Amino acid sequence: MSTIRDVAQQAGVSVATVSRALQQPDLVSLKTRTKVLTAVKLLGYKPNLMAVKFRSGKTRNLVVLVPTVANVFFARVISGMQQAAHDKGYSLLLCNTLADEEMEQSYARMVHTSQADGLIQLRAYNPFAQLEMKTGTVLPMVNACEVLDRIACPTVLLDNRAAACAMTEHLLQLGHKRIAMIKGPPRSPLTRDRVAGYRDALDAAGVAFDESLLYPGDFTLQSGHKAATELLNLPNPPTAMFCENDEMAIGAIQGIKQKGFAVPGDISVAGFDDISFAAFADPPLTTIAQPAEEFGSTAVTLLIDLLEGRLGKAPKVILPFDLIQRASTGPAPAGFS
């Protein structure tokens, strides 16, 4: 079996350079890295990864806490993470937490006991809160998508308030005044910010807020269907429904059709996320597009930069959004705005 010294001799570099080329390729020039990889292939060298991890004290494993892998948006975020981690020589340990705090704490403990290097949390909960961490230091974690307001770690988020305001303004410009919002779970910062943006737009347009048009959901197809059905039973039903995610919006469209109404002829429907199904809904869904894969890749890059000493602070990265107008929204019906 060839050794790392054989590789170094074949490539004409030091053993330390071979080690860096294999473990931290970003620190080695392309020319040198190519020589090392050519020598590795020629000699059939296979590094002892366990020994490497033992010497470095690093596992090159990152824990990812996902509230639910059934959510299409999170699946796209994970895809972005996977590619970024692979490109940088790291592996992901994925946990479908279902928002179970005890489970999340157990995975954070893996980082605390050096079984993994760092953690990415996709909901607004700090799994390190119950562990004895040094005060005043940046946590070995990135909080992305649904983020805490005050936490000592990098965060990646969207301006949800501005995005919800933009979509509500779009519906107002189409002449709608009775605009319902099918919101997410009450404890979610996404719900708080998106409802705030919805109300910002109503206030700016001089449209009175109606509590009966604010309906609770949980980001599932079923909750969107139920909400739309019950909103249409109101004495003065809405002419537009803005749903806090696309899955609820698709469920709402089905509920509206089953009640005998047309979308958007009778009722306009808008969503949030721009999942792949949005463009193929019937009718195609007007929505807010978030860069899901970029959420994932940015979170991984920030975490690796933090772990490898290139990031001393806890930056907040705000990603852009786009309003995608499709056929599910149209002018308010005459006499029912």
Structural domains in the chain?
4-47 (1.10.260.40), 58-158+292-321 (3.40.50.2300), 160-290+323-336 (3.40.50.2300)
For the four alpha carbons of 26, 78, 276 and 298, in that order, the dihedral sign comes to: negative
3-state secondary structure of 143: strand
Q: What confidence category does residue 1 fall into, taking pLDDT thresholds of 50, 70 and 90? A: confident
Please name which of 151, 119, 84 lies closest in space to residue 298, comparing C-alpha atoms: 84
Asked whether residue 54 carries a pLDDT value surpassing 70, the answer given is: no
Locate tokens 């990889």: which residue?
37
Model pLDDT, residue 132: 62
Taking residues 288-298, what's their average pLDDT? 98
Tell me, what's the pLDDT at 102? 95
Pair 122, 77: CB distance under 8 Å:
yes
Choose among 307, 127, 108, 329: nearest CA to 239: 329
pLDDT digits (tens, 9 = 90+) for 248-275: 999 999 999 999 999 999 999 999 999 9
What is the identity of the amino acid at 271?
G
Question: How sure is the predictor about 336, in pLDDT bands with cuts at 50, 70 and 90?
Answer: low
pLDDT > 70: what percent of the chain? Answer: 95
Q: Mind listing the pLDDT tens digit for each residue in 300-334?
A: 999 999 999 998 789 999 999 999 999 999 999 98
- C-beta of residue 125 within 8 angstroms of C-beta of residue 104: yes
pLDDT digits (tens, 9 = 90+) for 19-32: 888 877 778 899 99
Residues 223/179, Cβ–Cβ less than 8 Å = no
Structure letter (DSSP) for residue 286:
B
